[in-house]
Structure 1
Amino acid sequence: MDDIKFIIRFYFKKYIDFFTRRLFCLIISLFWGNWIQNTSLENTLSYCSGKIKFYRNKGNDISKYRFIDKRDVKGSHLDFINNGYKIKHKGSTAGTSGTPFSFLRDLRCMVAEQHFQNLYFGWKNKYRVVFRGERIFRSGYKPHKIYMCIPFIKEMYISSYHISDAGLEMAVKKLSRIKNKCLWAYPSTAYILAQYCIKNNKDIHFDFVATSSEMLFDWQIEAIEKAFKCQVKDWYGQAERVAALYRCPNGNYHEVPNYSHIEFCKYNGSLFEIAGTQYHNRIMPLVRYNTHDLVEFNETECPCGNKGINIKVIHGRIGDFIHTGTDTKTATGLYCAFFKDARRINGAQICIDKDNKIVVKIVREECFNEEDEQLLIKTIGSHLPEGMFRIQYVSCLERNPSGKLNYVVHK
């Protein structure tokens, strides 16, 4: 009975989400033109200076505002809020560091996010297959099939909490009968589905694969495009809604116009931190909010014709760096090496404790042998000193409560 109630609630929530999106589309058609005309950094700063206690009387010169981050917002949470708004949505994020953080979004902020993603993904008339950590089934329930289709609204949800070859086989059979579809997934879940299809010679086509919320790696793109014969569209954003970047067909990332004001703060060498000022949230606006996400620029002009900032890679956060004692390495480099230089690896995760000791969790393929293990040790040893790491073989990798795979976990 509890399982049936959970499923009914899931269906109900998805229908509410669907009609909410339709309402947002109506709001966009009625008000977006006026909103976008009044969108500017100057207007945002004037509003914050007059309405938000934390920014009181700072004016519309951005140099008068200091950079802030999650610690500032947590420490003075109420000072960032305009309590005059009745329609609001409470969001939260644990982030890479695992530090909990809650914030408020107003109606315009929620509508704007949908508007910009709709423009980039172009999925208005697509059958949307969602593989992003949705809790379709009650915790502990073992379903016969790992997916659920929502009648009348062209959506299918696949559970990332019940992944198995048998479950994926049933999902793929269903997918083969669906036309005009796109996949909305985490990079890690899209890769799992792609690898299954490649390994089992399953021919599945999507019009495109849309990803976000995790780092997207070249080896993931290669597998996804090979399996599904389509383009990967990746969206970089964060729950705080202070910056958005999109991946163009040439593999570079560009700013989403009119989304926010983005600044890039020098961190180290060729790396820059992303800081942003919101344009579309009046209930809890954030100015010069440092995400601590790191990017590296491409100095050449992008072939797509975009004349703005050209980013070649998003490295992740400062916490995703490994200090070896003699130098500092990106965890990204080590993580990519598992799939470039090692063999027969289905998944990997880097766990760093407070003493900077590292446990590398590995999901092996069935044919993984001693020779593969020696190559794996050699691969990790080329990045980390001996004695700094140990390998732990696991059947699955740890995901956060949202179902996302954090490739670096801090214990």
Structure 2
Amino acid sequence: MMFLEFFVWGAWFVTMGTFLDTSLSASGSQISLAYLTQSLGAIAAPFIIGLIADQYFSAQKVLGVLHIAGAALLFWASNQSTFETFFPIILAYMILYMPTLALVNSVSFRQMTNPEKQFPAVRVLGTIGWIVAGVAIGWLAWEQEGQLTSTFRMAAVASLILGVFSFLLPATPPTRHGEKATVRDILGLEAVGLLKNRSYLVFFLSSIAICIPLAFYYNFTNLFLNEQGVRSAAAVQSLGQVSEVLFLLLMPLLLVRLGVKLTLAIGMAAWGLRYVFFAFGDAGNLYWMLLLGIVLHGICYDFFFVAGQIYTDKFAGHRFRSAAQGLITLATYGVGILIGSLLAGPIVDRFATADGHNWTQIWIIPAAIAGVVMILFLILFKDRREVTEATALDASTTTVEAPGTAVPREERPHSSNT
């Protein structure tokens, strides 16, 4: 299930920018608009989960229906010849696909006796699925031969297989049957009180801001590599997922050794460094810079997003844990990448040339954004956190500590729950 879930996404998402540019003559703004559908799907996902899967139907059945419908949409999208007809189809697809990311997790967790130990071994198959999709595209040379319509058809076949297979998965009945979910519950707004803490507010706003340069990577890296003359660009990009797996294994140790603040800052610095490598690298003597920029994906993603999820989990405590994770996901993949996509497209159009784009000028901009976000984060974020009213709404005062940090004894509240 997990392998196919991410194989379906990786099979078309990575190369869509190149497909739109070469096959549909789309502008940079149109390419960003197509990738923006991910954010719109992320915003819609909680409503599909909260109003349908959590209340009325088993998760595996909803998963099956969404993937079968998605297969039809992907195949339909592959037959379009203009951006105007392609966009509404891919928008509808992403509104259906993004909720499946939560559904596969739900199906997994509900069957496990010890999710903390068992889930990573299952989730890593998703990353492997994404890698296999990229390698397959490179091996089949669809980028070089202008056959990227085949990526959507390959994804459609895999989505259909997963859709049928989903009905054979273990039963995962609705968790809130008979209960009425409110918009506040669905969007995780009950965790908004956590933002009263200055450090967590800084982290929250930094998470949104760092997703602005992230949109440049998602939207235009494959087009950039192909214009640079990198062969089998999609396969080369899969090195980023390989590094993601490696650094994910090191994350628990690094958090303990480095603390939350330094770990998050390293992730932000990696974003800036990656874009500098892209700005000055090429497919010739400086090809190593392009490779390092791609391999940095493991640090970029794990050191900020994974570490941030762990920080949020520890900060929110048991009562607000799920709501806080939902809120931060909505902020990053919803708001942050939405802003980034709206910004990236016009910038890429601004530096279009007769034979492609001035990528040096383009990549310097997200590098600068990442650098500014990192500096502000280092100045404003405090690694030591004390309890605030926002983190103790459910009980008496408790102390919440970031991984790898400790609140000095004299600063701890006097409470039997400390």
Which TM-score bucket, shorter chain as reference? Answer: under 0.3
Higher helix share: 2
Q: TM-score, normalised by structure 1?
A: 0.23
Higher strand share: 1
Q: TM-score, normalised by structure 2?
A: 0.23
More relative contact order, 1 or 2 (CA 8 Å, 6+ apart): 2
